[in-house]
Amino acid sequence: MHLTISEEHLGDIKTAGLVLRPNSSDLKPYYEILKSSLQKYQVRLLVEKKSANTLGIKGIPKEQLYTQSDILISIGGDGTLLSLSRRSYHYNKPILGINAGNLGFLTDIKLYEIEDFIDKIFSNQYRIDHRMVLEIKLRSKKEEKNLIAFNDIVLSRPSIDGMVNVDAYVSSPDAQMDKKHLNHYYGDGVIISTPTGSTAYNLSAGGPIVYPLTEALIITPICPHSLTQRPLVLPADFEVTFESEDETIIVVDGQDIYNLKFFDAISIKVAQKGVRMIHRIERNYFDVLKQKLHWGSQ
């Protein structure tokens, strides 16, 4: 395991691309402040088509937004930022999250901070965090699907009266380990999480909180039918493969759903590149934890 810490800065910013939380007409004040703040620096603001419809302005398709923008901006909650990060991943654009939600583990710029933070961006007073993501392969004799997960992959039971019944295997070239049987999971499900996602479903299921710039795989069983099953943290060079003869639902970042019965296996490993997220220099992860989880409260 190691930390991915960056001291890079953004290049010349001419165009910014904006995505809003869906169906949120109350976000127009955020858009207006952001637009005027960027105009001070002659930055053009493009808006994704569905978001633009909400604002009553002209927008462009997502693919054009990702291609033409120097940075991408989301306005909404953590879910909006998570979705933008996944869908724009292959364009490798830095992303800024403006918080118009409730949780704010990922988005740290509030409405009243937008103008000041845009000024800080153009005076190099910010930092870029490289957040690890997971590369997923769903394999069968007929096809192979390649996916990306920013938070987690959940192997879930197909119905309320069913159970997840899967075998897990690990392999690692660095550890000179070929495919080796790790565990048999029987219960409500299994979560494979990134450190960033460790404060999401993984935390609710009793998994560990892992510092988000760490590179590691977290495997947490959900309500297992054995008291011996416990969460496991693996180094970043490990690959985990799950196989099952039973129907198993695969949920990627809580947004995309697949069925393992159509595939022979699902393999998960750390992707070669992460997502670049723009944050305030002053942002401290442990302050965020204390605030969101009410640590130290009487």
The verdict on whether 174 is a catalytic residue reads: no
- CA 267 – CA 218 distance, rounded (Å): 14
Q: Which of 12, 26, 78, 287 is catalytic?
A: 78
- The CA-based angle 12-115-24, given to 5 degrees, is 100
Q: Looking at the chain, how many residues does it have?
A: 298
Strands (E), the chain: 15-20, 44-47, 71-76, 95-99, 127-131, 134-139, 144-149, 152-156, 164-172, 177-193, 216-224, 232-235, 239-243, 249-252, 256-259, 265-270, 275-279
- CA 252 – CA 156 distance, rounded (Å): 11
- CA 165 – CA 189 distance, rounded (Å): 8
- The CA-based angle 90-95-101, given to 5 degrees, is 120
CA 44 to chain centre: 27
Neighbour tally for 67: CB within 10 Å:
13
Q: What are the phi and psi torsion angles at 99 (to 5°)?
A: -85, 110
Task: Name the residues annotated as catalytic.
Answer: 78
